[in-house]
């Protein structure tokens, strides 16, 4: 009688998902099946002569009172589809935590924790429709510049941060890894500060000319693309302006590179510019430019403020007081000297 023995099915640790892992799993499973078959052949060869149909096992002499040896177990047969257990990754290496994306004007940095000790990191970028790309291979740092592999800015990506030994991994073991949240550069990158090139207040008009922030990506001729080249009609700018030394703000919007707004010709104005993407549900406002102010009809008090005027007045009063004190002292000394010169003459 042939006894059927079932080996437990393989238990894989979920250490790798994504492109490239399937071939290695097939190789491991094939090798495992080959080893199972060889074991079965060895077992069948040992018992084949004793358990062929119509044959009887050999009887050996034993002393009286001795119990007979237990008959050999029937040969083993592998049940279909069963394979031995195998481990698909190294469970001893820690995995990355707190994986975050940081992106300004499409320059994107991936960051995580902790600092590695006794192992290294490798980053894999997985796109929904693009091939997997590796960055920062065998790196000891906890950040990686992945800008150049995110050129398809409307694609959605995930990052796998692999924990590997300094010698890398062999062909039959997948390293443990951590997976980041999904990231789409087009909807997540932060708009940087616009650069104000020129401004002028002439009469009742305030004119401001500015430049779009540049991205790390280039055209075929080598010139850098601006955020407007990528966002196009989705991008607009807002000018916030207010009377100098006042808190009430006004706003104007444009999709060009300049503003022209009406102002009070007798007042000075301060302003800044900010990029906006109205189509975004979140993170739709960019960074603010530097604040600048006009200087039409500004007095010294407007230019430097009341504090400077007060300091100058105190210094002037101190100087006048010192001059008066010195004059009094000098006058008294002269009178005293004249009195001493007259005393000898009176004695003669």
Q: Poorest-confidence range of 173-187, 213-227, 251-265, 325-339?
A: 325-339
Q: Is the pLDDT of residue 267 over 60?
A: yes
pLDDT of residue 326: 87
Reported confidence tier of residue 304, pLDDT bands at 50, 70, 90: low
Say whether pTM exceeds 0.75: no
Neighbours of 267 (CB within 10 A): 16
**What is the tens place of the pLDDT at every residue in 205-234?**
999 999 999 999 999 999 999 999 999 999
**What is the tens place of the pLDDT at every residue in 60-103?**
445 555 454 544 444 434 333 434 333 445 557 899 999 999 99
Q: Is the pLDDT of residue 7 over 50?
A: no
Q: Is the pLDDT of residue 19 over 70?
A: no
pLDDT of residue 168: 59
Query: No. of H helices and E strands in the chain?
Result: 5, 19
- Note whether 96 and 121 are within 8 A (CB): yes
Q: What is the dihedral of CA 86, 128, 226, 110, to 10 degrees?
A: -20
Buried residues in 187-218 as b, exposed as e (16+ CB within 10 A)? bbbbbbbbebeebebeeeebebebebbbbebe
Return mean pLDDT, the chain: 79
Q: What is the rounded CA–CA span in Å between residue 170 and residue 35?
A: 20
């Amino acid at each position: 009688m042939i006894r059927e023995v079932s080996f437990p099915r393989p238990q894989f640790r979920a250490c790798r998902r994504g492109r490239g892992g399937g071939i290695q799993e097939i190789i491991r499973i094939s090798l495992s099946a080959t080893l199972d078959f060889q074991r079965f052949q060895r077992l069948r060869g040992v018992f084949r002569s004793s358990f062929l149909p119509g044959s009887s096992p050999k009887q050996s002499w034993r002393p009286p009172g001795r119990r007979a040896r237990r008959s050999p177990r029937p040969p083993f047969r592998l049940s279909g589809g069963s394979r031995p257990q195998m481990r698909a990754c190294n469970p001893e290496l820690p995995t990355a935590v707190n994986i975050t994306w940081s992106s300004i004007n499409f320059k994107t940095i991936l960051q995580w924790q902790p600092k590695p000790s006794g192992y290294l990191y490798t980053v894999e970028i997985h796109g929904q429709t693009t091939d997997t790309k590796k960055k920062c291979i065998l790196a000891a740092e906890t950040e990686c510049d992945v800008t150049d592999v995110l050129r398809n800015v409307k694609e959605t990506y995930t990052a796998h941060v692999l924990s590997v030994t300094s010698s890398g991994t062999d062909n039959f073991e997948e390293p443990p890894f951590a997976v980041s949240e999904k990231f789409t550069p087009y909807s997540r990158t932060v708009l940087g500060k616009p650069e104000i090139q020129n401004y002028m207040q002439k009469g009742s008009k305030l004119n401001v000319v500015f430049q779009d922030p540049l991205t790390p990506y280039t055209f075929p001729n080598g010139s850098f693309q601006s955020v407007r080249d990528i966002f196009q009609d989705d991008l607009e700018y807002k000018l916030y302006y207010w009377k100098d030394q006042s808190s009430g703000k006004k706003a104007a919007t444009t999709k060009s590179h300049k503003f022209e707004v009406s102002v009070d010709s007798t007042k000075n104005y301060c302003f800044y510019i900010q990029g906006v993407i109205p189509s975004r549900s979140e993170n739709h406002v960019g960074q603010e430019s530097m604040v600048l102010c006009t200087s039409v009809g500004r007095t010294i008090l407007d230019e430097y403020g009341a504090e400077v005027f007060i300091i100058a007045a105190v210094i002037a009063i101190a100087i006048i007081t010192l001059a008066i004190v010195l004059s009094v002292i000098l006058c008294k000394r002269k009178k005293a000297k004249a009195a001493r010169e007259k005393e000898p003459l009176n004695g003669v």
